[in-house]
C-alpha cells in the first residue's frame, strides 16, 4: 500500500476486501470502484471538480427528509433509475417505470367502475383495461394502486388545497380481469428544482418537465409486481421526460368520446357524463408469472 499509485489504487481497494466478504457484495463494489476510478482517470478530475461533486452530495443530504429524497431524484435525472427498471423488465410483460416519490399507502378502495374524480376540476376521463398474465389468462382480483396529479400538476400531499387521498385509489380487477374508473386528466409537472438536482439541470440546459401520466402498481399472487406509469400520446414532454420514464409500450391515447350510450353500466358517474364531453383511455397490463 505504501507504493500505491494512480494505476494500482483500484487493485489496492480490491485487495483490502476480506476473504469472508459476501461474493455479490464483492462483485458490485469492485465494479463500482473500478468505474469511479476510471471516471476520475479518464477526466483527470481536478480537486475543485471533486469538491464540487461532494458539495452536491452534501447539499442533497441537507435538502432530503423523510418526505423528500434528493438522491432518488439524482438517480432519476441521471437515468440510473430507468436503467435499473429496464434491465429487469421482461419483454412479454408491461414495462415498468419509475415509482417516483409521490406514492402513499392507504388510499381508499374503489369498486370497478368507481369514480376517482370527485370534485376535481379538469377534463373527464374514463380509464379501462384488463389485467393479464404472461401465461395468457385474465387475472381476477389483481390489485391496482392508482395515483395521479390534479389539474394543477400537484399530487395530494404536495398541495394543502387537496383532500387526503385525492386522486388516489385501490381497485381489484373483476372476474374477467377488467378494471374501470373515472377521473380527470392529470397535468405535466416539473421535478423539484430548488436543490442540487435543479442546479445540475440548469448547468446542462435541461428542462425539468415530466409528461403527464397515470401511476399504477399492479400486483397479483403468482406474478411479479408491476410498478409503472402510462403516458398520453399527445403530451408535449413525451420525448423529453426529465427522468427518462417514457417507454413506447407505455403510451396510451386519450380518445374524445361522444357516444355516451357506449359507456359500461358499472360506471358510477355514467349519468353525470351524459351532459359532458369526456375522453376514454384503454390500457391493458400484462404481469409476468413468478412460477418457474
* 219 in Cβ contact with 226 (< 8 Å): yes
Q: How far is the CB of 129 from a second copy (least distance, A)?
A: 20
CB of 193 to a second copy, least distance (A): 15
Shortest CB 231 distance to a second copy, Å = 8
C-alpha–C-alpha distance, residues 104 and 93, integer Å: 25
Minimum CB–partner distance for residue 5 and a second copy (Å) = 6
Shorter beta-carbon distance to a second copy: residue 87 or 105:
87
Least distance from C-beta 274 to a second copy, angstroms? 36
Cell numbers given for 36: 469511479
Nearer of residues 54 and 274 to a second copy, judged by Cβ: 54
Nearest distance, CB of residue 227 and a second copy, angstroms: 9
Q: Minimum Å distance from CB 197 to a second copy?
A: 13
What does the block give as the cell for 152? Answer: 394543477
Please write down the HEC assignment for all residues of the chain.
CCCCCCCCHHHHHHHHCCCCCCHHHHHHHHHHHHHHHHHHHHHCCCHHHHHHHHHHHHHHHHHCECCECHHHHHHHHCCHHHHHHHHCCCCCCCCCCCCCCCCCCCCCECCCCCECCCCCCCCEEEEEEEEEECCCCECCCCEEEEECCCCCCCCECCECCCCCCCCEEEEECCCCCEEEEEEECCCCEECCCCCHHHHHHHHCCCCCEECCCEEEEEECCCECCEEEEEEECCCCCCCCCCCCCCCHHHEECCEEECCHHHCCCCCCCCCHHHHCCEEEEECCEEECECCC
Q: Rounded CA gap, 140 and 178, in Å? A: 8
Q: For a second copy, which is the closer residue by CB, 17 or 104?
A: 17
Between 84 and 274, whose beta carbon lies closer to a second copy? 84
Of the pair 44, 121, the CB lying nearest a second copy is at 44
Whose Cβ is closer to a second copy: residue 58's or residue 277's?
A: 58
* Nearer of residues 1 and 160 to a second copy, judged by Cβ: 1
Amino acid at each position: 500500500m505504501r507504493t500505491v499509485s494512480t494505476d494500482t489504487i483500484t487493485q489496492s481497494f480490491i485487495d483490502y476486501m476480506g476473504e469472508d466478504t459476501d461474493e455479490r457484495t464483492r462483485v458490485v463494489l469492485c465494479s463500482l470502484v473500478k468505474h469511479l476510478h476510471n471516471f476520475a482517470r479518464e477526466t483527470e478530475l481536478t480537486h475543485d471538480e471533486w469538491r464540487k461533486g461532494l458539495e452536491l452530495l452534501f447539499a442533497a443530504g441537507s435538502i432530503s427528509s423523510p418526505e423528500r429524497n434528493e438522491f432518488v431524484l439524482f438517480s432519476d435525472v441521471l437515468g440510473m433509475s430507468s436503467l435499473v427498471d429496464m434491465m429487469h423488465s421482461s419483454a412479454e410483460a408491461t414495462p415498468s417505470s419509475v415509482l417516483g416519490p409521490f406514492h402513499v399507502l392507504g388510499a381508499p378502495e374503489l369498486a370497478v367502475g368507481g369514480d376517482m374524480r370527485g370534485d376535481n376540476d379538469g377534463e373527464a376521463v374514463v380509464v379501462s383495461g384488463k389485467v393479464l398474465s404472461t401465461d395468457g389468462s385474465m387475472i381476477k382480483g389483481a390489485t391496482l394502486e392508482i395515483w395521479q396529479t390534479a389539474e394543477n400538476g400537484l399530487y395530494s400531499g404536495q398541495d394543502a388545497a387537496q383532500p387526503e387521498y385525492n386522486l388516489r385509489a385501490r381497485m381489484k380487477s373483476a372476474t374477467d380481469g377488467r378494471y374501470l374508473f373515472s377521473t380527470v386528466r392529470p397535468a405535466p409537472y416539473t421535478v423539484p428544482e430548488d436543490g442540487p438536482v435543479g442546479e445540475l439541470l440548469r448547468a446542462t440546459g435541461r428542462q425539468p418537465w415530466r409528461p403527464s401520466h397515470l401511476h399504477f402498481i399492479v400486483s397479483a399472487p403468482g406474478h411479479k409486481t408491476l410498478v409503472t406509469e402510462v403516458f398520453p400520446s399527445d403530451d408535449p414532454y413525451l420525448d423529453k421526460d426529465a427522468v427518462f420514464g417514457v417507454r413506447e409500450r407505455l403510451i396510451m391515447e386519450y380518445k374524445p368520446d361522444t357516444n355516451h350510450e357506449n359507456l359500461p353500466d358499472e360506471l358510477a358517474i355514467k349519468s353525470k357524463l351524459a351532459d359532458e364531453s369526456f375522453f376514454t383511455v384503454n390500457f391493458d397490463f400484462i404481469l409476468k408469472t413468478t412460477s418457474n
